[in-house]
């Protein structure tokens, strides 16, 4: 428990202690007063005075009445008075406690009501008020997270159904043409088979990436961490993309220390850098250079991928790493992938304990990745 919490609870404890001690002190004073009245005969004088002046008894009759009914039973009356005094004291204490319980009960009812209103208790119960409001906020946040997860699941199913249906429809369409036109020219049949096969491969890639992102989300991926030669890894990936780069007239420039290393899973990091490079090729202007730079920042390494292309609005930059998200131009051209590549990239980077950000200005799109450094 924090010191502030202890201080706040001490206020409630002090008030409760003062209430109990005050009731006990008042009871003791009352019992003392009764003792002095009964045992010092002052109560007898009061009773005799009452009988004479109120009930019109003679003084002698009043004295005998007092002696017969009160004096001989003085101990019994005293015990009864003491019992009554302490009973009233306990009643006062329990009444105060029940007020606190009632407040807590109202707070719990407000907690269950989920009405968005703050819970308010008496000042001395401030720590309980804060705890209840903290629980209420936590429940509201969890409810919101659950609703968000449900919406994302629905969106995931919707996007998956849409993106699967498109290539699947093409495959079925071309296979139907092959079946309906068995005598079509061999060149036309070969073209249709090739297109259907490409669509089937695209469908297979999409399903593989979908299951991969699901595994990352469920924390079922383990990393084989080791020191990775960053420069050598990027050279390999650039060589693999040479045909795609040549088709658009793009080039890749690596600007970093050749001895720079990061600590991580080489296979998973190759997937990260490959996804970003493919994204840069797909969205960069033709005949432009894609720059990859890296530098050490304390214990980490920062890798930047920059390409020339259309600026991406800020609201779309936030969504780049969402599942199935693709820029509008990617949905209408052949540049778009499955919409899962950058989502998988982010999950891998986070799994390495790193971070990834995207920015866009002056027709330059930049992806910055921060990863733990390592030594070979």
Averaged pLDDT of the chain: 77
37 or 85: whose pLDDT is higher? 85
Confidence at residue 143, expressed as pLDDT on a 0 to 100 scale: 83
Confidence at residue 334, expressed as pLDDT on a 0 to 100 scale: 46
Confidence at residue 15, expressed as pLDDT on a 0 to 100 scale: 67
What is residue 313's three-state secondary structure? coil
Mean pLDDT in residue range 323-329: 58
- Quote the crossing angle between the two packed helices 341-351 and 266-283, to the nearest 10°: 140
Tens digits of per-residue pLDDT, 271-287?
899 889 988 888 889 99
Q: Answer yes or no: are the C-beta atoms of 324 and 159 closer than 8 Å.
A: yes
Q: Cα torsion at 205, 207, 212, 218 (round to 10°)?
A: 170
Tens digits of per-residue pLDDT, 36-58?
665 555 666 777 777 778 777 88
Burial (CB count within 10 angstroms: exposed 0-12, middle 13-18, buried 19+), residue 236: middle
Q: Which residue ranges make up each domain of the chain? A: 3-113, 151-217, 226-372
Confidence at residue 316, expressed as pLDDT on a 0 to 100 scale: 80
Core vs surface per residue 287-303: b (16+ CB within 10 A) or e: ebebbbebeeeeebbbb
Q: Of the ranges 26-30, 113-117, 214-218, 274-278, which one carries the lowest mean pLDDT score?
A: 214-218
Mean pLDDT in residue range 328-340: 50
Q: Answer yes or no: are the C-beta atoms of 253 and 288 closer than 8 Å.
A: no
Write the DSSP symbol of residue 285. Answer: P
Tens digits of per-residue pLDDT, 241-254?
888 888 889 999 99
Of 27, 32, 55, 28, the residue nearest 42 (C-alpha): 32
Determine whether domain 151-217 maps to CATH 1.10.645.10: no
Which strand (E) or helix (H) includes residue 23?
A: helix 3-39
Determine whether domain 226-372 maps to CATH 2.60.40.3080: no
Confidence at 294, pLDDT banded by 50, 70, 90 = very high
Confidence at residue 329, expressed as pLDDT on a 0 to 100 scale: 47
Token pair 């220390």 is at which residue? 257
Confidence at residue 75, expressed as pLDDT on a 0 to 100 scale: 65
Confidence at residue 36, expressed as pLDDT on a 0 to 100 scale: 63
């Amino acid at each position: 428990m924090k010191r502030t919490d202890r201080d706040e609870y001490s206020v409630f404890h002090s008030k409760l202690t003062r209430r109990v001690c005050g009731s006990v002190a008042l009871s003791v004073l009352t019992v003392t007063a009764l003792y002095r009245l009964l045992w010092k005969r002052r109560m007898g004088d009061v009773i005799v005075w009452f009988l004479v002046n109120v009930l019109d008894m003679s003084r002698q009759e009043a004295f005998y009445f007092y002696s017969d009914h009160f004096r001989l039973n003085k101990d019994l009356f005293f015990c009864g008075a003491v019992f009554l005094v302490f009973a009233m004291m306990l009643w006062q204490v329990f009444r105060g406690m029940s007020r606190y319980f009632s407040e807590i009960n109202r707070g719990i009812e407000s907690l269950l009501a989920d009405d968005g209103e703050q819970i308010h208790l008496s000042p001395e119960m401030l720590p309980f008020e804060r705890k209840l409001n903290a629980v209420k906020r936590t429940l509201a946040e969890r409810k919101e997270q659950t609703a968000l997860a449900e919406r994302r699941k629905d969106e995931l199913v919707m996007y998956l159904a849409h993106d699967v249906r498109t290539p699947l429809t093409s495959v079925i369409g071309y296979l139907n043409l092959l079946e309906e036109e068995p005598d079509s020219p061999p060149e036309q049949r070969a073209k249709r088979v090739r297109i259907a096969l490409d669509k089937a491969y695209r469908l297979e890639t999409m399903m593989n990436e979908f299951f991969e992102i699901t595994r990352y989300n469920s924390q079922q991926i383990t990393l084989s961490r080791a020191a990775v030669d960053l420069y050598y890894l990027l050279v390999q990936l650039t060589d693999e993309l040479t045909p795609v780069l040549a088709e658009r007239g793009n080039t890749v420039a690596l600007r970093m220390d050749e001895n720079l290393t990061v600590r991580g899973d080489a296979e998973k990091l190759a997937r990260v850098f490959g996804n970003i490079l493919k994204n840069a090729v797909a969205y960069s202007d033709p005949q432009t250079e894609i720059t990859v730079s890296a530098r050490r920042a304390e214990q980490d390494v920062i890798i930047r991928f920059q390409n020339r292309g259309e600026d991406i609005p800020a609201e779309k930059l936030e969504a780049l790493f969402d599942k199935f998200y693709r820029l509008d131009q990617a949905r209408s051209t052949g540049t778009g992938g499955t919409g899962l590549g950058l989502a998988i990239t982010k999950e891998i980077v986070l799994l390495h304990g790193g971070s990834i950000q995207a920015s866009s200005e002056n027709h330059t799109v930049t992806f910055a990745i921060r990863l733990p450094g390592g030594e070979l």
